[in-house]
Amino acid sequence: MFKLTLRGGFTWGLSLKHARSFSTPAGRLAGKVALITGAASGIGKTTAKEFIKHGAKVVIADIQQEIGQQTATELGPNATFTTCDVTQEPHLSNAVDFAVSQHGRLDIMYNNAGISGSAAFSNIADLDLAEFDRVMIVNARGVIAGIKHAARVMVPRRSGCILCTASVCGMAGGLAKHPYTVSKFTIIGIVKSASSELCKHGIRINCISPFAIPTTPLVLDTMTELFPAATADGVAKIIHSAGELEGAVCEEKDIARAALYLASDDAKYISGHNLVVDGGFTSSKRFGFSDIDQ
């Protein structure tokens, strides 16, 4: 027990238990149930770990069965795994039902699964529409199907939080291939559209647009195809050199903490928002001194 004597002789006592609750943000998701797609690795896994750290029970939903099971085991008793291919609507429906059957509710749905598609850049005139369809069905249709089935169980309870992973590539053209860029622009639009309806049921929906993170499988696979001779360290240097914020780089934990904020009651009045985590990359286009006639 800590005791604090205030002016006038008044003594205020604080137990160690309560002192810890004031000194740490742990428990921001206490009692919450979250379902995260694409959570076997990368941003999804890091977010699952962060959610569990803050008191949530998390369902890992991923197409990678072996890695997904390993992740659930690694994260402990508050993590469970279910196989989920987001291109198959019944898989998403089943994943939502699994979360509810295991925990009696679903408070947070994080539509995080996504693919980059072929690493090869192509002119719009040479665009492979089959490849375009493949990327869109995962990145856009998979997200809207996840929102649909989360809403199915959240609307009757008139509460819930839905998150989606977008990208800085969905905010400016020319940063990535056409299919990936279009899919990420679409996610931001989906969130705006869904927010206009879901807010009437007390459900919040937001997205997060990260800068490229060289440790995620999606970015590593893409950059390895583009730069076959580059090592993992080389890929990281290429990506970090494109950043704007001096002295900092974008990491998986930055996106996980952004997701934690949006999923928690700290963001109780935020909906329809795209939280950009890019160190100012999309906020400015600067000329270097070499570009200016002197």
pLDDT tens digits for range 117-136 = 886 677 999 999 999 999 99
pLDDT at 92: 98
Domains of the chain in sequence order: 33-212+249-277 (3.40.50.720)
The low-confidence residues of the chain, meaning pLDDT below 50, are 2, 6, 10-11, 14, 16-25, 289-294
Does residue 210 contact residue 275 with C-beta atoms inside 8 Å? no
Does residue 142 contact residue 87 with C-beta atoms inside 8 Å? yes
pLDDT at 197: 98
Phi/psi of residue 120, each to 5°? -70, 125
pLDDT at 109: 98
Tally Cβ neighbours within 10 Å of residue 166. 27
Amino acid at position 294, single letter: Q
Tally Cβ neighbours within 10 Å of residue 285. 7
From the number of C-beta atoms within 10 Å of its C-beta (0-12, 13-18, 19+), residue 129 rates as exposed
Q: How far apart, in Å, do the first and last CA atoms of the chain sit?
A: 68
Does residue 273 contact residue 206 with C-beta atoms inside 8 Å? yes
At 242-275, the pLDDT tens digits run 677 788 888 999 999 999 999 999 999 999 999 9
Q: Which long-range contacts (CB under 8 A, 24 or more apart) does 242-245 make?
A: 242/212, 242/281, 243/211, 243/279, 243/281, 244/278, 244/279, 244/280, 244/281, 244/283, 244/284, 245/279, 245/280
CA distance 260 to 278: 17
* pTM attached to this predicted model: 0.84
Tally Cβ neighbours within 10 Å of residue 78. 16
Known catalytic residue at 180: yes
Mean pLDDT of all residues belonging to the chain: 86
Does residue 79 contact residue 52 with C-beta atoms inside 8 Å? yes
Sheet containing 33-37, strands listed edge to edge, beginning at the edge strand earlier in sequence:
79-83, 57-62, 33-37, 108-111, 160-165, 203-210, 274-277
